[in-house]
Structure 1
Amino acid sequence: MNTFIESLANVPWWAWLMLILAAVALWDITQKKHTVLHNFPVIGHLRYWLETVGPEFRQYIVANNREELPFNRRQRSWIYASSKRENNFQGFGTDQDVHGAGFIFIKPALVTKRLAKDHPYRENPYVLPAPKVIGLSHNRRRPYRPKQVINISGMSFGSLSASAITALNEGAAKFGCYHNTGEGGFSPYHAKGGDVVLNIGTAYFGIRDDDGNFVMEKLVRLTQNNPAIRMLELKLSQGAKPGKGGVLPAAKITQEISDIRHVPMGKDVISPAAHSAFGTIPEMLDFIEAMAEATGLPIGIKAAVGKLDMWEELAELMVKTGRGPDFITIDGGEGGTGAAPPSFADHVSLPWVYGFSSVYRIFKKHGLTDRITFIGSGKLGLPAQAIMAFAMGADIINVAREAMMSIGCIQAQICHTNRCPAGVATQSKWLQAGLDPTLKSERFYNYGKTLTKEILEIAVACGYEHPCQFTMEDVDVAMGDNNHTRALKVVYQYEKAPVPYEGIDTLINCKYLGGGIQNAH
């Protein structure tokens, strides 16, 4: 035996290599699954390897700064640098094609106003409260004014890791914004000090019975036990897959997720496409009012936009009955932090600018804009895009993928595989162990502050104190070819309703102002 082992040890390395290659070639030729490997044994593997690493090569080597989607390199670099408090400037002018269709032009004032020495922005340019108190117009028992106009959109625990949710909630507590739970329910990782918006999806995770039906008593108990929950968001649909339920594979379901969501272990969890608690717009209004009465909290709806007939019906009923949601979150069809079929992600529902403008026009026509806080979600977490959204009528911006990038997401686009290399969208203990919530919460805090500061600086440059003061005449859009540019008012054929604004001091000193669990009523 020893002699045989010694003889093997004396075989030259190239002979071993040839033996391995011969074995691979034999396997390639005899297998029937891959034609390329059968026809081109051994070297055919190079094709599959290049296919695997191709996106990474294109992302870092081939594509230019403005070429990638969903977020190009320049956008990602700005988020990364801002979150790390690094230099996020650029030199030698813009590298954008400023004549390309859809390019945003923000119009500065000829002479801007100087801020007074005692102006709140001089002491803290990172606090920018929402312009409206949510729930006040419908006499909710616990009205709420978000401390920031920039907030965290719905991303579930289960889709995101415990470390990522912890980092975001701790970051929200530092920054003062709210943190939307996503439809996966309220977890211990959402209880780290930040304000919380409880997202209620079609599966009613955490507030359901064994058959998946909504249980009001569980909702009331959850909100009473967790005063950080400041609003409820009824999710009708989402940008990535409107009209289609979600799937959490059995492999991603841990005992902890099972307990939080009230779902069984070992089975795929499928969210229905439609709600079981209501089936019509009048029934939805009844459901909203029942939750508001039971919890005292402001209630809103979240939806992607397609057909407008039910939006018209909702607005008409709100005028007729005096009831309705306190806020409306419009999700753009280009959004999505998790998995979705390409046909849905690419083609179903309108992009944010078209969806939001269509819905806003309806509620403005019916005189309802003062009763509703409008929230925008869909690639709006960059200064110019946020300003455009405020000019179109959004009162608040929700950020999802931008928040993920601030805590380490590298846009690998494998969120649906449970192999997220940054530990953000995975339940792998090993992968998420590399995400330090203490460090990453600071990164989100820095990103939120920087985005807020730049929004404020642009507002001041345009002669305003708060972005709610922007009008649709303040932003132009490049039309391409010979149409030059047109104001948002012309492009989308409506004028934003003026938002009542009494000054930044009034917002900061509001008794309904949020900003952390310590401020909950």
Structure 2
Amino acid sequence: MSEDQILELLELIDEHAWLFWSALVFVFLVGVFIHDIFQKKHTIKHNFPIVGHIRYLFEKIGPELRQYWVANDKEEMPFNRAERSWVYATAKMQNNNFGFGTTELLYDAGYPIIKHSAFPFADSKAKYVEGDSSMIPSLKVMGEFHKRKKLYRPASVVNISAMSYGSLGERAVSSLNKGAMLARCYQNTGEGGLSPYHGFGADVMWQLGTGYFGARDEKGKFSMDSFRKRLSENPNVRAIEIKLSQGAKPGKGGILPGAKVTKEIAAIRGIKEGEDCISPNAHTEFDDVNSLIDFIERLAEASGLPIGIKSAVGETKFWEELARRMKETGSGPDFITIDGGEGGTGAAPLTFTDHVSLPFKVGFARVYKIFQSANLSERIVWIGSGKLGFPDRTIVAFAMGCDLIHVAREAMMSIGCIQAQKCHTGHCPAGVATQSKWLQAGLDVDLKAKRAANYIKGFRKELLSVAHACGYEHPLQFTGLDIEIGAGINRFRTLSDVLEYDRDPVKFTTMMDYTDHISLPK
């Protein structure tokens, strides 16, 4: 080839270089697209190939962008960036420590400070349940006072809160159930009831709401026969929770948009496919305290299981009457779950979300004091929920009187939720709160189950670490005197002073003494 021919060829290549580079970019993008579709680690990349990478880029440079242009790590709601980062890192077993000191305003009114001990409890002295260094068993046994036939001591003080199959997709529910099994905690079904995706081996708390899903007849009324049948098909059910109300929409029934009501969900719940599923705002089996207690005892007799109630807190007359009747009859709930107004994983009208029901700390304290005054608080297993999925908040809840806590949105984040706040639309980009097969396809159940378990275990390990720093072996040994609350103008008061009560003293010896009635791994 002559020199002139070579020059002509180079000129031709130069003129059409854009075609070459365009083809190269196209091939590269096709490769990325195919990789994103088939990889299983990142739901966002699967559901939004190529474009999903932008989210991770922004996540990486997010602190810089927020620092100069948008907001800092503590301004986002309902969970700020620092909180979400802690959950994500814990779930992925990455470094969940933070550097360069606190960004909190330590002198603000209401800010809690946990007081460490000059002589910590030595980690080397700690006893662990069956070799699991994260295990923290319940110190109380559900159903013990009322002598239920099937007693239950939860193996974990941290458990997965009520989130229905329907609100969450099948892969999300499956991931949480498998994760709960790995972490040896229990999973609450939510009012949507028992589904096949609650049956992978974890202990289950079956929630009965006003719709009685899974335990209803053709007219939507409660059916004891259906109740017994569903229990016989689900041997992992260890307790029943009657939902009176929840923090997101107290006094209003559950809302599942028609777009989420698939054929399978309709069959499980006994409703019509594609139509909005709006539960009644009140129960039909009881309408006062006496009939509520009667219903509890009927369920206990039929199942042998511990029976409890869940409620947000508004007026206190109900709680005063419930305490009085329980004292008079010796009957009533084995456990009480108090949900704070700051809770909420499902769809709700804005007014209910923002303005109805008391926040957790206020509501729980009012109810607990009523039962403590009636000498009933020690009989009951107390459960708290409402943004308690972080060790500091859980320690405060324990010091207030909780025996267990339920976590919901934090558990969702552990399996990939990015707080897109699309839960009510059916278009959750992370594939968690949706029934879309495409969006769910990016959620790998086994991987997400491990991450859910990592979150629960990491959570418990940090609880134990703080407890040891304060001189205790078990976090339920915390009292109101161990926590100080900011009162403004550089003043602090103990939590006991703020609440005007102390929780009932706990009886604790060593972790190994609290393994009776615990459900062992299959």
Match of 1:405 among 407, 410, 413: 413
- Matched with 2:372 is 364
The change in CA–CA distance for 1:263 and 1:457 in structure 2 (over 3 A counts) is same
Note if contact 1:173-1:515 (Cα within 8 Å) is conserved in structure 2. no
CA RMSD of aligned residues (A): 1.8
Secondary structure of residue in 1 paired with 2:379? coil
Distance in structure 2 (CA, Å) of the matches to 1:243 and 1:221: 29
1:489 is aligned to 496
**Equivalent of 2:460 in 447, 452, 455:** 452
Are residue 172 (structure 1) and residue 180 (structure 2) matched? Answer: yes
Gaps of 5+ in 2: 1-61
Equivalent AA in structure 2 for residue 213 of structure 1: K
% identical equivalent positions = 54
CA contact under 8 A between 2:204 and 2:237: conserved in structure 1? yes
What aligned pairs does 1:250-269 form with structure 2 within 5 A after superposition?
A: 250-269=258-277
Structure 1's 158 and 122: CA in aligned 2 closer, same or farther, altered over 3 A?
closer
Change (3 A) 1:344 1:113: same
Report what 1:514 is aligned to. Answer: 519
Give per-residue Cα distances to partners, 1:379-422, cap 9 Å, x unaligned: 11101001101111000010000000000000011111111000
Measured after TM superposition, the shift of residue 264 of structure 1 is 1.6
Shift of 1:116: 4.6
Amino acid at match of 1:315: A
Superposition deviation, residue 202 in structure 1: 0.2
Question: Partner of 1:417: helix, strand, or coil?
Answer: coil
**What is the identity, as a one-letter code, of the residue corresponding to 2:204?**
V
Q: Which amino acid aligns with 2:505?
A: P
**What's the secondary structure of 1:424's corresponding residue?**
coil
Displacement of 1:247 after TM fit?
Answer: 2.2
Paired with 2:121 and 2:260, the residues of 1 have a C-alpha distance of: 54
Amino acid at match of 1:323: S
Superposition TM-score, scaled by structure 2 size: 0.86
| Counterpart contact for 1:333–1:348, Cα < 8 Å | yes
Q: Secondary structure of 1:497's partner?
A: coil
**Alignment partner, residue 142 of structure 2:** 134
Which one-letter code corresponds to 1:498 in the other structure?
A: P
Query: Kindly tell me: are residues 385 and 515 of structure 1, through their superposed partners in 2, closer, same or farther at Cα, counting changes over 3 Å?
Result: farther
In 2, Cα distance between equivalents of 1:419 and 1:105? 40
The SS at the match of 1:302 is strand
What's the counterpart of residue 476 of structure 2?
Answer: 468
SS in 2 for 1:282: helix
- Per-residue CA deviation, residues 471-506 of structure 1 (Å, 9 max, x unaligned), is 110111112235x11111111111111122232111
Q: Which among 410, 422, 444 is matched to residue 414 of structure 1?
A: 422
- In the superposition, relative to structure 1, how do residues 219 and 117 fare at CA in structure 2: closer, same or farther (>3 Å)? same
Q: 1:320 to 1:171 in 2, by over 3 A?
A: same
Deviations 1:281-321 (A, max 9, x none): 00000000000000000000000001000100000111110
1:273 pairs with one of 263, 281, 288: 281
1:378 maps to 386
Matched, 1:348 2:356: yes
Unmatched tracts of structure 1, length 5 or more = 1-56
Would you say the 8 A contact 1:180–1:196 is kept in 2?
yes
Q: Which residue of 2 aligns with 1:217?
A: 225
Which residue of structure 1 lines up, in the alignment, with residue 39 of structure 2?
Answer: none
Aligned ranges 1:37-186 → 2 under 5 Å: 61=66, 62-116=70-124, 119-120=127-128, 123-186=131-194
**Residues 342, 463 of structure 1: CA spacing in aligned structure 2 closer, same or farther, 3 A cutoff?**
same
Cα contact 1:195–1:515 (8 A) shared by 2: no
CA distance in 1, matches of 2:65, 2:457: 28
Distance 2:100 2:405 in 1: 30
- 2:197 aligns with 189
Task: Output the CA distance in 2 between the equivalents of 1:121 and 1:250.
Answer: 45
Whole-angstrom distance in 2 between the partners of 1:396 and 1:118: 20
- Confirm or deny: 8 A CA contact 2:240 2:308 kept in the other structure: yes
| Displacement of 1:224 | 1.8
Distance 1:499 1:59, change over 3 A: farther
Structure 1 105/411 Cα, relative in aligned 2: closer, same or farther at 3 Å?
Answer: same
Cα separation, partners in 2 of 1:233 and 1:118, compared to 1, 3 Å = closer
CA distance in 2, matches of 1:361, 1:353: 12
1:150-202 CA distance string (max 9 Å, x none): 00000000000000000000000000000000000100000011000000000
Deviation, 1:95, is 1.1
The amino acid that maps onto 1:488 is: L
Question: Is the CA contact (8 Å cut-off) linking 1:178 and 1:515 kept in structure 2?
Answer: no
Retained in 1: the 8 A contact 2:467–2:475? yes
**Contact preservation (8 Å) 2:256, 2:347:** no
Where 2:295 maps in the other structure, the secondary structure is helix
Conservation of the 8 A alpha-carbon contact between 2:255 and 2:348 = no
Tell whether the 8 Å contact from 2:129 to 2:512 is kept in structure 1 after alignment.
Answer: no
Q: Distance in 2 between matches of 1:258 and 1:357?
A: 39
Partner of 2:507: 500
The one-letter amino acid of 1:170's match is K
Question: Match for 2:506: what amino acid?
Answer: V
The AA in structure 2 aligned to 1:485 is F
SS in 1 for 2:493: strand
- In the alignment, the residues of structure 1 paired with residue 121 and residue 179 of structure 2 have an alpha-carbon distance, to the nearest angstrom, of 33
Against the structure 1 CA distance between its residues 481 and 515, is the aligned structure 2 distance closer, same or farther, given a 3 Å change threshold?
farther
Letter in 2 for 1:513: I
Shift of 1:248: 1.6
* Structure 2 counterparts to residues 218-257 of structure 1, below 5 A: 218-257=226-265
TM-score, normalization by structure 1? 0.86
Does residue 388 (structure 1) correspond to residue 393 (structure 2)? The answer is: no
User: For the residues of structure 2 that align with 1:89 and 1:121, how far apart are their CA atoms?
Assistant: 26
Assess if the C-alpha contact under 8 Å between 1:161 and 1:427 holds in 2: yes
Q: 1:493 to 1:403 in 2, by over 3 A?
A: same
Aligned-residue offset at 1:449 = 0.7
